[in-house]
Structure 1
Amino acid sequence: MLHSNILRKLDMQDLMVFLSIHEQRNLTLVSEALHVSQSTVSYCLKKLRSQFGDELFISTRSGMLPTRKAQAMHGHVQQILHQVNLCHDLPCFDPREAAQTFNLCAPEYFELLVLPHLMRAFRDAGLAVTVNVHKLDRELPGEALLDGRFDLAMCFGPGFHRLMSGLCSQVLMEDDLVCVMDRCSLPAQSHMDIQAYAARQHVYPTPWTSDSNMIDGWLRQHGLERQIVARTNSYRAALQLLQGTDQVLALPRRVLALLGQETWLGSCELPTALHGFSMDMIWSERADHDEANGWLREQIVKICAAQGLL
């Protein structure tokens, strides 16, 4: 933070004028060296004198002589401009320079809600970026992230997967589950109680490799089990199995908004005791310092923010 509010009006040109006067000792030469008018140089010097409470340079026949304060400031101002130049010259990944391929491990949830927007952004920007998505398994691919086989992994949280040492994480979005069924079999109430929910036959989508999900753990906590009559590889296939039945499907609310356009589909709220979930992005500590990996993570966050997911 600045020690004085008046310093907020200070800009880079003022500091460049300060250094140039210190070097040239002549306002005309400063004007020529910086390619600005003499009135601009005079205005900058006036600001500097006001902001630092010192004359800074004394006009004499032999030139502009720096005051003791100006002499003391000189090294610090040089360092300020040097640090600004370092910020400007920081290495930055540019996908326009060469084709780039990224390998991700992610569930269908990410492929539906984020990937299409991400690839469209790459295409619209004319970027030669390829994204290979591998199906998320029961366990987080920690070793593959650590050795670079995967650049990123997307997994459900919080706490659904063990995060091994050497990995970093960031929450991308949050969601909850809604109970979906054929409209003809909707309960009279807007919420379905847990006993009625467990009594129904269930369709279970497996967009990631797992024999159970948070629903099963939640039911076990209440001494209940559900009967799964069908398992599918995708949310869309699971939805199609509901038509003409009284079977139910626990579906992420965002996925229902995207896929649930059929007029025969209906939904109701699950008991409020069932907590929501998050979609987390995982990468290695080594990749945390990789410019290309950091660029990809930034693009994904931008997409989530632009789509109102983050």
Structure 2
Amino acid sequence: MLNSNLLRKLDMQDLMVFVAVYEQSSVTEVSEALCVSQSTVSYCLKKLRTSFEDELFINTRSGMRPTNKASAMYSHIVKILQAINTCHSGIQTFDPTQNEITFNICAPEYFELLIFPKLIKRFIGSHFSIVVNITKFHKDIPVDELMDGRFDLVICFGPNFHRSVKGLRSQVLLEDELVCVVDKNADLPDQTLSLEAFAACQHVFPTPWTSDTNMVDGWLARQGCSRQIVARANSYVAALNMIPGTDFVLTLPRRVQALTCDEDRFSHRGAPEGLPNFTLDMMWSEKPSQDNANLWLREQIVKVCAEDGLL
């Protein structure tokens, strides 16, 4: 952040004029060197003097002489310009056409169904020599594996579904809501299920990640309710196959429901009012966060989400 609002009026040309006047001591020479008019140089100096609340340069017979403040500022302004140049061309980026690499991602089934296929097709279509290995997400964030590089990324649900860990950074990829999937001919209300109706149903529970708790039952417990789970499946698709011909309810993310549910076999109802939405979060270690390949991978995942309208 800037210490003064006056500094917000400065631009790169003003800083270039400052350095040039400091080094050349002549407005005329600065004008020629920067290919701008002398009036432009004078205008930039006026902005600089106002912004830094100092005369900066004193006009003498032998040229423009810096004040003590200008002398103290010079090396810092030079570093600012050097940093800008580095941002423009000096930061080495990962080139997937020149590097063969394997990425290891820990993620739930949601990511595998919704994002992973498009990510791989993007790599194949661009002829990148990249392999991506997916490991199923378990109960807790695999902190050690992230820290030592065994995992490049962890994809998990939020917000605040997992404890925060020092040394890890995160980014929300998308938000989704839950809906209730039922058999096309199920004898259930055609509208949003009430809390009482939802709790009274028999439920199939998918386990897209290994955990003793889940967001639905955690929310029900806070309402003083519970539900009857009659079957547990290892995946969303396996759970869906238990629904036809029954009055069972399967609570799915809406995006997964839209992707996997055949309208000739299934219908869906709104989840009870108050059942919270959730986010899909991307986590990585601060230690490799400056790794160019890791940065590139995260950017590709965000691009897939943006192009598919998930953001």
Same fold (TM over 0.5): yes
* 1:226 and 2:228 are equivalent in the alignment: yes
> Partner amino acid for 1:66?
M
CA distance in structure 2 between the partners assigned to 1:140 and 1:68 by the alignment:
56
CA distance in structure 2 between the partners assigned to 1:55 and 1:106 by the alignment:
56
CA distance in structure 2 between the partners assigned to 1:127 and 1:120 by the alignment:
10
- Structure 1 stretches of 5 or more lacking a match? none
Shift, 1:285, TM fit: 3.5
CA distance in structure 2 between the partners assigned to 1:223 and 1:48 by the alignment:
68
CA distance in structure 2 between the partners assigned to 1:178 and 1:236 by the alignment:
15
Secondary structure of 1:267's partner? strand
CA distance in structure 2 between the partners assigned to 1:135 and 1:265 by the alignment:
27
* Residue 48 (structure 1) aligns with: 44
CA distance in structure 2 between the partners assigned to 1:4 and 1:177 by the alignment:
46
CA distance in structure 2 between the partners assigned to 1:48 and 1:227 by the alignment:
72
Kept after mapping to 1: 8 A contact 2:182/2:250: yes
CA distance in structure 2 between the partners assigned to 1:7 and 1:204 by the alignment:
55
What CA deviation, in whole Å up to 9, does each residue of 1:150-199 have, x standing for no partner? 11111223444445554333333332211111221152341223443344
What CA deviation, in whole Å up to 9, does each residue of 1:244-289 have, x standing for no partner? 3322211011211222343332111122243332222222342344
* 1:76 and 2:73 are equivalent in the alignment: yes
> Partner amino acid for 1:263?
D
Alignment of 1:203-222 (within 5 A): 203-210=204-211, 213-220=214-221, 222=224
Kept after mapping to 2: 8 A contact 1:176/1:252: yes
Instruction: Report the number of matched residues.
Output: 300
Shift, 1:4, TM fit: 6.5
CA distance in structure 2 between the partners assigned to 1:281 and 1:78 by the alignment:
39
CA distance in structure 1 between the partners assigned to 2:195 and 2:4 by the alignment:
60
- Structure 2 stretches of 5 or more lacking a match? none
* Residue 277 (structure 2) aligns with: 276
* Residue 93 (structure 1) aligns with: 93
CA distance in structure 2 between the partners assigned to 1:55 and 1:158 by the alignment:
51
Shift, 1:22, TM fit: 4.0
**1:66 aligned residue (64, 67, 70):** 64
CA RMSD of aligned residues (A): 3.4
TM-score (norm 2): 0.78
CA distance in structure 1 between the partners assigned to 2:250 and 2:103 by the alignment:
33
> Partner amino acid for 1:46?
S
Kept after mapping to 1: 8 A contact 2:123/2:130: yes
* Residue 155 (structure 1) aligns with: 156
What CA deviation, in whole Å up to 9, does each residue of 1:11-64 have, x standing for no partner? 433433443344345566546655x3xxx242432322432366947485xx6x
TM-score (norm 1): 0.78
CA distance in structure 2 between the partners assigned to 1:180 and 1:232 by the alignment:
15
Secondary structure of 2:145's partner? helix
> Partner amino acid for 2:44?
L
Distance 1:80 1:129, change over 3 A: farther
Higher mean C-alpha deviation, range 286-295 or range 252-261? 286-295
CA distance in structure 1 between the partners assigned to 2:243 and 2:194 by the alignment:
20
> Partner amino acid for 2:152?
D
CA distance in structure 2 between the partners assigned to 1:293 and 1:245 by the alignment:
46
CA distance in structure 1 between the partners assigned to 2:136 and 2:181 by the alignment:
24
CA distance in structure 2 between the partners assigned to 1:7 and 1:217 by the alignment:
48
> Partner amino acid for 1:136?
F
Distance 1:42 1:24, change over 3 A: same
* Residue 110 (structure 1) aligns with: 111
Identity of aligned residues (%): 42
Kept after mapping to 1: 8 A contact 2:170/2:283: yes
CA distance in structure 1 between the partners assigned to 2:26 and 2:274 by the alignment:
76
Kept after mapping to 1: 8 A contact 2:109/2:208: yes
CA distance in structure 2 between the partners assigned to 1:6 and 1:18 by the alignment:
14
CA distance in structure 1 between the partners assigned to 2:147 and 2:66 by the alignment:
56
